[in-house]
């Protein structure tokens, strides 16, 4: 019999994976600073890490991966850094579109993308259109996304429906249908690298019962092994949802 003492930290049970993993990709700036590089270099490596992690999640059969790429608060960063992140997203989407038929990864975007550049909006629309044909792993990229902003939008829409006489009651299980993540199960596991212990306005409603996993590893240093460590920890947890 295999002892738990010689089980490696990254050994996981592939038959018992979380359905949905959400990630706050934090630590790009510090990763770059440690190497005396500009923060934007950290984001460039972070984008490659995202590509690697998304491919891995698809290969192990994960149903959903949701990543926080740009928050409603990130506009406060220097223009040069905002432009660099948007540029990386454009590059990533352009390259993905070419490979989508092969990889068959479904992509969706959470957040108000209407304020993004016309070029980025066009790439997002194309990516989502192509994605409609795919069934497998779904990657959700949160862009100009904030959990509170998402709830405010939901309330406004509900209020509009009430005033137009189309709605008059809302239950807990109805709220999800007003969110960007409508139809998608809540994340089972939420990972935050970078050593901070907070949610930073990420998936406020959806993460109510997510297992949280924090690590000091910086996002650009993340890899398949780190994902496995988080999944292994998830598999050791007991989820009770308030019961006993």
162 is written with which tokens?
A: 């009430």
Check 6, 13, 16, 74 and give the catalytic one: 74
**Residue tagged active-site, from 13, 16, 26, 174:** 26
d(CA 45, CA 43): 5
Q: Which residue of 17, 22, 88, 100 would you call a contact of ligand FPP, by CB under 6 A?
A: 88
233 binds ligand FPP (CB under 6 A): no
Q: Which residues inside 52-71 make contact with ligand FPP, applying CB under 6 A?
A: 67, 69
How far apart CA 163 and CA 221 sit, in angstroms, is 50
Q: Kindly state the smallest distance separating residue 77's Cβ from ligand FPP, in Å.
A: 8
* Nearest-10 Cα torsion for 138, 142, 232, 30: 140
Q: Report the largest interatomic distance among the alpha carbons of the chain, rounded to a whole angstrom.
A: 64
Q: For residues 201 and 207, which CB has a smaller minimum distance to ligand FPP in the complex?
A: 201
Secondary structure letter of residue 156 according to DSSP = H
Q: Can residue 50 be called a binding residue for ligand FPP (CB under 6 A)?
A: yes
Instruction: Kindly state whether residue 92 participates in binding ligand FPP, applying the rule CB under 6 A.
Output: yes
Q: Give all strands of the β-sheet with 189-192 in edge-to-edge order.
A: 106-110, 138-145, 64-71, 20-24, 189-192, 211-214
Q: How far is the CB of 187 from ligand FPP (least distance, A)?
A: 17
**Helix, strand, coil proportions of the chain in percent (round to 5)?**
50, 15, 35
**Binding residues among 183-222 for ligand FPP as defined by CB under 6 A:** 194
Residues 139-178 that bind ligand FPP (CB under 6 A): 141
Count H helices and E strands in the chain, helices first: 7, 6
* 23 belongs to the binding site for ligand FPP (CB under 6 A): no
Tell me: does residue 89 bind ligand FPP (CB under 6 A).
yes
103 part of the active site: no
Residue 242 Cβ vs ligand FPP, minimum distance, rounded to whole Å: 32
Considering only 18, 21, 28, 213, the residue that binds ligand FPP (CB under 6 A) is 28
Q: What distance in Å separates the CA atoms of residue 170 and residue 37, rounded to the nearest whole number?
A: 50
- Give me the least distance between CB of 17 and ligand FPP, in Å please: 22
Scanning the chain, the segments in alpha helix (DSSP H) are: 28-34, 39-60, 79-103, 118-131, 147-163, 172-175, 224-236
Does 111 engage in binding with ligand FPP (CB under 6 A)?
A: no
Would you count residue 181 as binding ligand FPP (CB under 6 A)? no
Q: Give the range of 22-30, 120-128, 183-191, 197-205 binding ligand FPP by CB under 6 A.
A: 22-30
- The radius of gyration computed from the CA coordinates of the chain, to the nearest angstrom, equals 19
Catalytic residue check, 144: no
Residue where the block lists tokens 């007991």: 238
Distance between CA atoms of residues 223 and 176, nearest Å = 31
List the catalytic residues. Answer: 26, 74
Positions touching ligand FPP (CB under 6 A) are: 25-30, 43, 46-47, 50, 67, 69, 74, 85, 88-89, 92, 141, 194
């Amino acid at each position: 019999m295999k002892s738990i003492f010689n089980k490696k930290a990254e050994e996981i049970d592939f038959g018992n994976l979380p359905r949905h993993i959400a990630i706050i990709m934090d630590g790009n700036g510090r990763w770059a600073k440690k190497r005396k590089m500009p923060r934007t270099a950290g984001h460039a490596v972070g984008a490659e890490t995202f590509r690697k992690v998304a491919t891995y999640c698809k290969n192990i059969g994960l149903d959903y991966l949701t990543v926080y790429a740009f928050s409603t608060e990130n506009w406060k960063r220097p223009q040069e850094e905002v432009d660099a992140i948007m540029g990386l997203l454009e590059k990533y989407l352009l390259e993905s579109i070419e490979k989508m038929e092969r990889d068959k990864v479904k992509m969706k975007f959470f957040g108000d993308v209407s304020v993004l550049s016309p070029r980025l909006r066009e790439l997002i629309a194309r990516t989502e259109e192509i994605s409609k044909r795919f069934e497998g792993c779904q990657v959700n990229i949160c862009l100009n996304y904030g959990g509170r902003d998402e709830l405010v939008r939901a309330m406004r829409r509900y209020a509009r429906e009430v005033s137009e006489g189309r709605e008059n009651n809302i239950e807990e299980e109805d709220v999800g249908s007003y969110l960007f993540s409508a139809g998608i199960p809540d994340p089972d596991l939420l990972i935050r690298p970078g050593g901070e212990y907070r949610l930073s306005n990420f998936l406020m409603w959806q993460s109510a019962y997510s297992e949280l996993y924090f690590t000091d590893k910086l996002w650009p240093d993340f890899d398949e092994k780190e994902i496995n460590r988080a999944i292994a920890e998830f598999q050791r947890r007991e989820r009770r949802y308030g019961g006993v």
